[in-house]
Structure 1
Amino acid sequence: MKRILVPTDFSDQAKYALDAAHRIALKTGAALVLIHVIEDATVTSVHYTGEVELPEMTDRLFMMRMIEKGKKKLEKLATSEAFSDIVVEQELRIGSPYHNIRDIVSEQEVDLVVMGTKGSSGVEEFLIGSNAEKVVRHAKCPVLTIHEELQNHSLETIVYATALDEDEIASFEVVKIFQAMYGAKINIVRINTPNNFQPDRVALKELEEFAEKLKVDNYELRIFNDNSEEEGIIYFAEQVKADLIAMATHGRTGLSHLLGGSIAEDVVNHTRRPVLTYSLKK
């Protein structure tokens, strides 16, 4: 792991994500890339040194003030004494937070995105979702979402929710990286739901065969019954007091996403635990 991207809007959630990314960087020797995006609906993604066409002088002056303010806050954060033990780079961009995060992941070959999120629910979730939700769905690298401050920065117990998809085998390597970093035990769980039910004896046998393919150590296989995959993952994680939930997402888009949604995005929105996700289609 060489480069970790941390989006920041200087909120508490962003600070929690930066603290988590700092700890990971110390363990892996990775550099942190801090990105702050000045939101502008008229453009999608542009570096602050690029030309941004603004129709009114008042808009131009307002944007220049926002850029200057953001630049100062970003520089103060990146040069803080707290991060003197790692390499920290800065990126200030204009436009859509999601599009800028997506672009920098590709441009700089980012290995991990660590970002804070407040989650969302109800009408807000249905209408607009969140930047974190979009990044989870589309990112070309693993994404770690942080909701709350991590008290001891220890990941002793990881819940890995599996759909027994063959594509997970290669992607599971990122979970093993986190396991090795923290010496964690992995609970590999299959969620039994009314619409996708299997007797425990059948489900456990499939889990055993799948775990052999994953080539993982220090793990436990579990079957958990609930009304939905999302609820099952969240409640099982509560039951075992998990420090991290890890799972894959198929990164649905368009109509298929509207109709089927994404279990990973739902979990990110509704749990308070850190969630590590990666898109199988990437």
Structure 2
Amino acid sequence: MIKILFPTDYSATADNAFIYAMQICKNYNGELFVLHSYTSKSSYKNVGQGNPLAASDLFKDQINKMHRLAAENNLGQVPLNFFMEEGELVQSILDIVSKQDISLIVMGTTGNSGVENKILGSTTVGVINNVDIPVLSIPHLCKFQEIDAVGFTTVYDEEDALVLRKMIPYVKLANADIYCIHVNKGKEAKTQEEVVRWKLQFKQDPVYFVEKNQDDIIKAVFNFIDQYSIDMLSCITRNKSLFQRVFEGSIAEKLSYHKRIPLLTFHENMFK
């Protein structure tokens, strides 16, 4: 059974991600762990400025609300576990991940962070940068749908191969395909022979390769998303410049993509 951690700040964005997380649990026989973390500096007025009793009462109300959301979306069968922790969110997540053997974190990309003009809110970025397990970020207007095509940015190295091997069993269960995109800017670290050998290890799997010769990496990735009808984009965060630039692009690009494409990130420390 897969164990998924879902941090919530009680926002509408979080509620949307909660439904998405439950759908994943339903499809993969998963168990959902719901976490709310608060501090004495909490900005939520109705939490009583960090008052534990007020926070506890609000959390109980939210538990009832989440059970209602589950029932309304025919997801009442998904096992739910609730945790309220006083402290910083990232540390609370690290504690639960280690104690509960969590496989995946699902969270909304905006919410009460107040960073609505960015693709990934500061809270989500903080989690992605500090937690070593995969994080699935759900844009605030993204609705769950069956995944047919998963995009994956690659530089053809062993870390990429490890991620693909982890993804393939789940992608096969969903009867979907993985499309790997490599953007060639003319300075390749691998020889053509090395690239061919790297690809051969996936010849029996639903993995396809797309190469684009283009100086503008961002435009190449967005064209790739359109051309192959990508439902979910995934990457390793060691490619930090690409990671940041793709999801902090122009306003027009944001309006086109960030509201509908979930992002699955794998931290580079997973491989150390």
Supply the AA of the counterpart residue of 2:243.
A
Q: Of the candidates 232, 235, 256, which is equivalent to residue 247 of structure 1?
A: 235
Paired residues, what number?
250
Give CA deviations for 1:157-205 in whole Å, capped at 9, x if unaligned: 11111011212222223321331232112211101236x4699xx66x6
Is the CA contact 2:90–2:130 (under 8 Å) kept in the aligned structure 1? no
Per the normalisation by structure 1, the TM-score is 0.75
* Cα distance in 1 between the residues matched to 2:132 and 2:263: 16
* Cα distance in 2 between the residues matched to 1:66 and 1:108: 23
Is the CA contact 1:133–1:265 (under 8 Å) kept in the aligned structure 2? no
Which residue in 2 is equivalent to 1:104?
A: 96
Which residue in 2 is equivalent to 1:18?
A: 18
- Aligned ranges 1:1-282 → 2 under 5 Å: 1-41=1-41, 62-78=51-67, 80-81=70-71, 82-118=74-110, 130-151=122-143, 153-193=145-185, 196=187, 206-214=194-202, 217-250=205-238, 261-268=240-247, 271-272=257-258, 273-282=261-270
Per the normalisation by structure 2, the TM-score is 0.77
Give CA deviations for 1:55-74 in whole Å, capped at 9, x if unaligned: xxx867x4532332123213
* Cα distance in 1 between the residues matched to 2:144 and 2:40: 37
TM-aligned CA deviation for residue 267 of structure 1: 3.7
Is the CA contact 2:109–2:121 (under 8 Å) kept in the aligned structure 1? no
Aligned CA distance change for structure 1 residues 16 and 234 (closer, same or farther; 3 Å): farther
* Percent of matched pairs sharing the same residue: 22
Is the CA contact 1:78–1:90 (under 8 Å) kept in the aligned structure 2? no
TM-aligned CA deviation for residue 234 of structure 1: 3.3
Q: Secondary structure at the match of 1:172?
A: helix
* Cα distance in 2 between the residues matched to 1:143 and 1:215: 27
Aligned CA distance change for structure 1 residues 130 and 88 (closer, same or farther; 3 Å): same
Q: Secondary structure at the match of 2:158?
A: coil
Give CA deviations for 1:58-95 in whole Å, capped at 9, x if unaligned: 867x4532332123213431464243211111011122
Aligned CA distance change for structure 1 residues 32 and 224 (closer, same or farther; 3 Å): same
TM-aligned CA deviation for residue 35 of structure 1: 0.9
Is the CA contact 2:168–2:205 (under 8 Å) kept in the aligned structure 1? no
Which 4+ residue blocks in structure 1 deviate beyond 6 angstroms?
A: none
Structure 1: 5+ residue stretches without partners? 43-57, 251-259
Q: How big is the alpha-carbon RMSD for the aligned residues of Structure 1 and Structure 2?
A: 3.3
Give CA deviations for 1:138-172 in whole Å, capped at 9, x if unaligned: 22211111104444611111111101121222222
Which residue in 2 is equivalent to 1:254?
A: none
Supply the AA of the counterpart residue of 2:57.
E
Is the CA contact 2:110–2:121 (under 8 Å) kept in the aligned structure 1? no
Supply the AA of the counterpart residue of 1:217.
D
